[in-house]
Amino acid sequence: MRTLTLILLASTLPWTVQAGSNDGPIKEEGAELLKPFKKQLMGALKQGLQQSPAEAVDICHVQAPGIPENVAPEGVELGRTSHKLRNPDNAPTDWQRELVQHYRQHEDRSPKSRTLDNGRVAYAEPIEVKPLCVTCHGPREQIPDAVRAKLDKQYPQDEATGFRVGDFRGIFWATWPAGDNPS
Ligand code: HEC
């Protein structure tokens, strides 16, 4: 039902007109640049979850912040951000905040591109909450005690709980110098 509603919405709303706006190459490039980041994040998460969800919090805490630097080609920046942050280092910049707001206010889940005024181009795609995610991002009372204890210790300012499956969680983003094809 939800999928049907989304399809109907997508076919009637004006942003579909942007299809011809020539940002296809930026979107393809951005999606490609994010692939290894997403893969390593998921790898770290799954490796941790094999031990326990609480262990996975520690592994994400240690590994997640360093992944963008390890996988981004020269000149490329990658990251994740959200309206409800766990790690305050992931706070959004202006263009990222604007897009996070857009996704929060619309059913739109399509990737976006932007031209920034510092000579770079930007790409972002929305992140949706999956069943796997609620162990650590769901309503606080549903988070296992051992996980909550780890979160309280590592992230005393944690705001990234209370999410439900299907919610908009935040964005993956990438920026690189305009005109470059870095991958
Ligand atoms: C084992 C617990 C755990 C699970 C499961 C988990 N996360 Fe997280 N998540 C974390 C931790 C810990 C961080 C903070 C990482 C850091 O320090 O950069 C985080 C950070 C994030 C961020 C970055 C923004 C922020 O709040 O700092 C996003 C986006 C995110 N998670 C989405 C997801 C999604 C989507 C899923 C499901 C596919 C998921 N997480 C599953 C523990 C988890």
Helix (H, G, I), strand (E, B) or coil at 112: strand
pLDDT, position 9: 53
Mean pLDDT over each residue of the chain, to the nearest integer = 91
CB of 53 shorter than 6 A to ligand 1:
yes
CA distance 75 to 66: 16
pLDDT, position 2: 63
Confidence of residue 4 (pLDDT cuts 50, 70, 90): low
Atom of ligand 1 nearest to the CA of 61: 17
**Which residue's alpha carbon is at the smallest distance from atom 40 of ligand 1?**
133
Atom of ligand 1 nearest to the CA of 134: 5
pLDDT, position 5: 59
Confidence of residue 6 (pLDDT cuts 50, 70, 90): low
Over residues 8-23, the pLDDT tens digits come to 555 444 433 333 468 9
Atom of ligand 1 nearest to the CA of 154: 12
Q: Which amino acid is at 57?
A: V
Q: According to DSSP H, which parts of the chain are helical?
A: 2-12, 24-51, 53-63, 67-71, 94-105, 134-137, 145-154
CA of 141 to the centre of ligand 1 (A): 17
Percentages (nearest 5) of helix, strand, coil residues in the chain: 55, 15, 30
> Per the structure block, which two tokens stand in for 103?
């996704």
Over residues 29-78, the pLDDT tens digits come to 999 999 999 999 999 999 999 999 999 999 999 999 999 999 999 999 99
Cβ atoms of 121 and 95 within 8 Å: the answer is no
CB of 41 shorter than 6 A to ligand 1:
no
Region 117-121 average pLDDT = 94
pLDDT, position 118: 92
Q: Which of 34, 37, 46, 133 to mutate to test the pocket of ligand 1 (most atoms within 8 A of CB)?
A: 133
CA of 119 to the centre of ligand 1 (A): 30
CB of 182 shorter than 6 A to ligand 1:
no
For 157, list phi and psi in degrees, rounded to 5. -100, 20
**Beta-strand pair 120-128/112-115:** antiparallel
CA of 146 to the centre of ligand 1 (A): 16
Confidence of residue 110 (pLDDT cuts 50, 70, 90): very high
